[in-house]
Structure formats: C-alpha cells, structure tokens
Structure 1
C-alpha cells in the first residue's frame, strides 16, 4: 500500500472530524442545533497533534472533547516558527475569526520550564561600563536569555493589527527594580515598534546598559492621552528593548511578592510594546494545580498612537489536556 501524503491524510482526517462533529451535534440536539447551547472549539484528535479543525458542537460535547483530547477552546490557531526554550520550544500563535484577531499569544509545553539556562544572560547585550576590558555578567549585561519570535504569517497579513513581532526573555536571576523583580521570571513582549528600530537601541553606560543618546530617546514622555492610567516612567530604559512604564498600583509595589504583572514599553515618546511579566514559580504552580488559569484586565490609554486592534485583557493558562502553557492577549477592540 502506498502511504498517503501527510497533507492529504490531514485533509481527509479533518473532513472526517467535521462529519463526526456534525453527527454528534445532530444526535445531541435531535437534529435541531438551535435546541442546544453550542460551543466552538478546535478539534484535535488524540495522536494527531498536527491535525486541527474548527467545529461547533453542543457545550456538553465540547466539554468532553476538551477533557479527553488535545482540543482547545475557540477557532483553530495559526502558529509562528518555534524556537528552543528549556526542555522544549516556544512559539507564537493567533486565533482569528474573519478579519478579527481573537487571541494573540505565546505557547510552550510545560517541559520548557525545565532545563533552562542558569547563567545571568546569553551575553547578547553587554557593555564594558567601567572600562576595565572585561565584561561582568551580573552588572554589564542585560536582557536575560532572549528568543525573538515571528508572529504567524496570517496574523501579519491581517489589516489593523499593530503588533509586529514578539520577544521572550528568560531571566534566571530576575532584574531591577531590586527587591521587586529580582526573582526568576519570563518577560513576554509583544512589540508595536518594528524589530529594526528595536535592534537600533544600542548598548552603552547609561540606564540598563544602554547608549546615552538612546537613553534620552527612551525617556521622551508619552503624551498623556496615550499613557494608560497609573503607569509611571521610572527611566528603566534597556538596551535592545526600550523603556519600561510600570503600574505602581500593582501588588508587587504594595507589599505583595511579584507573581505576574503587565508592563507598557515606550521609546521616543511612543508606546512600543505590551508585556505580561510572569514568575517561573507562578507558571510552575499552574502546572501543579497550585494556581488557577486566569485573565486579568489591561489598563487602557484614552487613545492609541497607532490605530487598530488592541487587547483588553491578558490571560495565563495551563491546558492540562495539551500539557502546555499559554500567555495571551485577548478581547481585542478597535
């Protein structure tokens, strides 16, 4: 027997899944799909993680499928190219309905939380601040261990999406502010600023290992109408990243330990990135059941400098049926 090409096999299996879902819906509702509450999921059969098809089924059927297969809620995702991280890989994904982005996020298996680098940084962004001819990793490097991620091609083609690429930083020793963010954690950046402009933020002796001229550009104030409520410029401009605007009403600035927070980036007076920042221990706690998946609101500015779709919340989830974690921007509005 000649084996079917993978694409043909996937198409055949997808068609079969749609047919099965339609029959299941018909049986569950007596042939009247409107008689039952339905839910849209991405149906992924066990053993076929590369095959995904969007189906709408009764809520009870969806619940069973989500529990017993690697299926997931919402329409099927499109993905960016994966890069290695820890014991696995990390990649971007997006769930799109028509011309509307529903979810834009980053996903990785739980095994990515193991086998991570323990050195302070990957030494991509260092500068000999004291001029002694040697690089002191703890004080003259920044950025942790970075993974530069492309957004899915289908998302990049979608009109009105201001996000252009993503950056994941693993910080095994944390970073400033001292006593606040100096614990092992991940930075998940979703950039509005084009990558070439971000790459042009040079190393130097000012700010967080940044060129002094670029530090000045990084601290140009964002006009008030574009600045979200409660966000403050503490002049935390970093090489190859930009400035970090912090919400000092967040729990970690008010007596609670840092677990997860949301940061806005800026450069040259413009919002440049959106950043959920999450501790390693919090993500590990999701996997073990110590913490629960949740969505949190994102404080919005009165207006955006670049028109388009922007998220109203960010979500951190562990999907036990897939044994993966997602960090996503959701509830997009124009």
Structure 2
C-alpha cells in the first residue's frame, strides 16, 4: 500500500540470496537489488527440476532490517523501490515487485498504522503501473475474479502508481486481533484515461478535504497485483519457515499459473525471505 519517495537506486544482485533459499531440486535465480541503509534487498525467482517457476520472492538482509529498525528517537523516511525479476526466468504474468517500508504504516487507521513492509507482485507493465492516477474507482471486478472475503476499502481509493486495494475481511486485524502479516489483492481498470474522469468526490486525505477524480474506465477492472504485508516486529521474531494459504479468485484476467500461498522464511545466514508460492493453474474469463 501507499508509501513515500524512492530512496534507493537499483543495482544488479551479486550472490546475496544464494543457497539459503534453495530447496531440493529447485534453482535460485537472482534479479535486481537495491541498497536500503547499510543493507540490500534483492528480488529472486526459483524454478523446479522441470524449469517451471516455483516461487517469486524478495530477500531482505540483516543490515537492511537493522537500517529500518524503528526507533522513536530516530525517525525514518518511507522507502519505495521497484525490483526486476531475473531475465532468464519465465515469471508468467508477473512483471516486477514493488518493495516498500512504511515506518508509521498507512490507513486504515489503528489497523495498518504500525511499522511494516509491503511487497507488491505486479501483473502489469511497470510503465502502466507508474501511470496510475490518484482517484476513486467506479468500475467493477467480475465476480469470479473477485476473491471471496476480500473487500474494497470504503472510499475505493486508487493509490497513484499503485492501484486499488482489496483487504481480507477474514484477517485477524479485522476480527478483534492484530496485524502481524496478511495478504492483499490489487485491482485496476487499465482502460482508464487519467485526463478524463467521470466526476469528482470529496475525500479526507492527509488531514484535509480534497476533490478527487472518479474513474469508471470501461467499467471492468481486474486483479493486477498480490501483496503480502509483514510488520517489522513479526520479521524480527521469525525463527522458522511458515507458509500461509491464501484465498484465490475462481478465475483471473487470463488463464495461467498463479500463487496459492505466501511463505515467510528466516535466512539461516543473513536476513529473511518472503515469497509467493504454490503456483496452480487457473482459468481465464469464460
């Protein structure tokens, strides 16, 4: 979800992920890295013995985690960066990953307003994502492409250079629990013309009332990213690998293989991994 300015510039990875994420009969392929504080964040993919994609992930090393360790006496800026996946791997519909650190969280208030990381795995070209405007969504997502239990935010806000967020209404943080890690879907209608809104709506943004354009597009949006979110506190306490099954739509915007789980894993030598896994075949629209 929404963060601040980009603070890190991309450089090619040079062996920072390595065998720590490798599973039996799976190969690790490193993508792009960015410097975060004194550390490094790296995108990667794994493939199985049939050379099929088995996971897409991000490795955050210990120095990067320490760089964003939240200390009230030392305020931190938000960090946002786009990371490319390895060129040698067919990443299916996935195009790049957006890495974000949010030192004070983001809305909804008292739910996600704690320090945490967001990992956006996009299924749309990077330049198209960067062209997404601030707005209010007035399109629909087809029922079979809308994951059960996931709900639009009340304002249906389209975050610029990101999209709309569908939140898991069954997650602990919405049912008298607290947010430690969760999964979010993103939606957008790529036919939207940012120069031609269908109207305006008044919203409270950043403590002030603003007129925000309403976008209808051709009336039909689609899921265009999946997003694990993890608090800094939970990452700090992670001592063993855990996988979390996710609710999926019946269909996606095009047939293909899509993730059915996300995995959080401490690196036995340096940092943590988060990945989308369990790729299975899904149909496209009938």
TM range (shorter): 0.7 to 0.9
Tell me the residue number matched to 2:27: 76
Of residues 221, 229, 238, the one that matches 2:140 is: 221
RMSD: 2.3
Tell me the residue number matched to 2:180: 259
Q: Secondary structure at the match of 2:167?
A: strand
| 1:196 and 2:146 matched | no
Q: Secondary structure at the match of 2:127?
A: helix
Structure-1-length-normalised TM-score: 0.64
| 1:247 and 2:197 matched | no
Q: Secondary structure at the match of 1:154?
A: coil
Alpha-carbon deviations, 1:109-161, whole Å to 9, x = none? 1221112386575xxxxxxxxxxxxxxxxxxxxxx320110011122xx2x70
Tell me the residue number matched to 1:86: 37
Of residues 53, 56, 61, the one that matches 1:109 is: 61
Alpha-carbon deviations, 1:277-333, whole Å to 9, x = none? 0000000111xx4xx32100111111111222101110001022x222110011111
Cα distance in 1 for partners of 2:31, 2:37 equals 18
| 1:280 and 2:227 matched | no
Change (3 A) 1:51 1:195: closer
C-alpha displacement of 1:99: 4.1
Q: Secondary structure at the match of 1:114?
A: helix
Structure 1: gaps (5+ residues): 1-48, 53-68, 122-143, 203-209
C-alpha displacement of 1:262: 0.1
Q: Secondary structure at the match of 2:237?
A: helix
Of residues 280, 303, 313, the one that matches 2:261 is: 313
Change (3 A) 1:70 1:170: closer
Larger Rg: 1
Q: How many residues align?
A: 229
Alpha-carbon deviations, 1:183-234, whole Å to 9, x = none? 00000010002111111123xxxxxxx2xxxx24x44221101011101111
Change (3 A) 1:51 1:240: closer
Structure-2-length-normalised TM-score: 0.74
Alpha-carbon deviations, 1:12-60, whole Å to 9, x = none? xxxxxxxxxxxxxxxxxxxxxxxxxxxxxxxxxxxxx6897xxxxxxxx
Q: Secondary structure at the match of 2:60?
A: strand
Cα distance in 2 for partners of 1:281, 1:51 equals 22
